[in-house]
């Protein structure tokens, strides 16, 4: 579904991603793991066209998108749930969710039923500002916003970072359901190896801006984790 070939990505003059090639098959979860500062977030940003410069090829459903601006990628069916969630604090929950809808032009500007199924709490508080929500609820809101785009692939950047443990489990369940029940293709940046193993079909281990190892999730051995992620 999503294929990167020899992608190099830059912020200003700093060269962050080096020769990254990766296949993201449809209807699967691909997890990106690695230490902090190895380029996992940059990889997702590169997919969305949010870095300053990029060379190499990115094919989405067979179409080359590496030279497309961010909003076209979003409209092609890529939804982004960034690190730190980046919801808009003084927009209502409703507005925050509908914001995602601009990626599916021509759609009736309504909240998709799936959001109600997954996040009943958000549906009960649509007119409250997004800023009053807790970290975990904001994360749910960011996922709801991505779902409003009716995406083909969802890019999730450390969805469980800085979230109270009670909600972590809920969000893990949601991610699993989105893939298993609703067939959504997911690229997930995740530090928690046990969750990564539970949810993902494939993995890519990053180190120093490159993909050190990648393959089916069964190949993500303790030895590999120890070698690339131990501090």
Nearest distance, CB of residue 215 and other proteins, angstroms: 29
Do the beta carbons of residue 205 and residue 33 sit within 8 Å?
Answer: yes
Computed from CA positions of residues 10, 23, 222, 162, in that sequence, does the dihedral angle turn out positive or negative? positive
Query: Does the footprint of other proteins cover residue 75 (CB under 8 A)?
Result: yes
CB 145 within 8 A of CB 97: yes
Q: How far is the CB of 184 from other proteins (least distance, A)?
A: 17
Residues 107-136 that bind other proteins (CB under 8 A): 109
List the one residue from 57, 68, 102, 228 that touches other proteins (CB under 8 A).
102
Q: Is 183 left (phi over 0), alpha (psi -120 to 50) or beta?
A: left
Q: State yes or no: residue 74 binds other proteins (CB under 8 A).
A: yes
Selected range binding other proteins among 25-33, 73-81, 161-169, 184-192, rule: CB under 8 A: 73-81
CB of 64 closer than 8 Å to CB of 155? no
Asked if 59 interacts with other proteins (CB under 8 A), we say no
Output the smallest distance, CB 69 to other proteins, in A.
7
Site for other proteins contains 88 (CB under 8 A): yes
Assess 100 for contact with other proteins (CB under 8 A): yes
161 is an interface residue for other proteins by CB under 8 A: no
CA distance 55 to 4: 11
* Site for other proteins contains 188 (CB under 8 A): no
Q: Which helix (H) or strand (E) holds 43?
A: helix 40-48
# binding residues, other proteins (CB under 8 A): 26
Dist CA 57 CA 75 (whole Å): 19
Which class for 35: exposed (0-12), middle (13-18), buried (19 or more C-beta within 10 A)? Answer: middle
Q: Which residues bind other proteins (CB under 8 A)?
A: 48-50, 69-71, 74-75, 80, 82, 86, 88, 90-91, 95, 98-105, 109, 145, 149
């Amino acid at each position: 579904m999503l294929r990167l070939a020899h992608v190099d990505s830059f912020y200003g003059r700093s060269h962050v991603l080096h020769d990254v090639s990766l296949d993201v098959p449809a209807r699967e979860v691909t997890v990106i793991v690695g230490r902090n500062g190895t380029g996992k977030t940059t990889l997702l940003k590169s997919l969305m066209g949010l870095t300053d410069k990029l060379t190499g090829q990115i094919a989405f459903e067979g179409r080359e998108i590496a030279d497309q601006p961010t909003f076209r990628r979003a409209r092609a069916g890529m939804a982004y749930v960034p690190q730190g969630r980046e919801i808009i604090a003084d927009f209502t929950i409703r507005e925050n969710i509908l914001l995602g809808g601009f990626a599916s032009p021509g759609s009736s500007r309504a909240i998709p039923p799936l959001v109600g199924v997954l996040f009943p709490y958000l549906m009960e508080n649509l007119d409250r500002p997004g800023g009053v929500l807790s970290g975990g609820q904001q994360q749910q809101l960011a996922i709801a916003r991505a779902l409003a785009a009716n995406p083909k692939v969802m890019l999730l950047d450390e969805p469980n970072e800085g979230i109270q443990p009670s909600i972590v489990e809920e969000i893990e369940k949601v991610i699993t359901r989105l893939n298993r029940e609703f067939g959504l293709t997911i690229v997930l940046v995740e530090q928690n190896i046990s969750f990564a193993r539970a949810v993902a079909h494939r993995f890519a281990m990053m180190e120093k801006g490159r993909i050190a190892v990648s393959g089916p999730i069964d190949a993500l051995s303790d030895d590999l984790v120890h070698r690339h992620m131990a501090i």
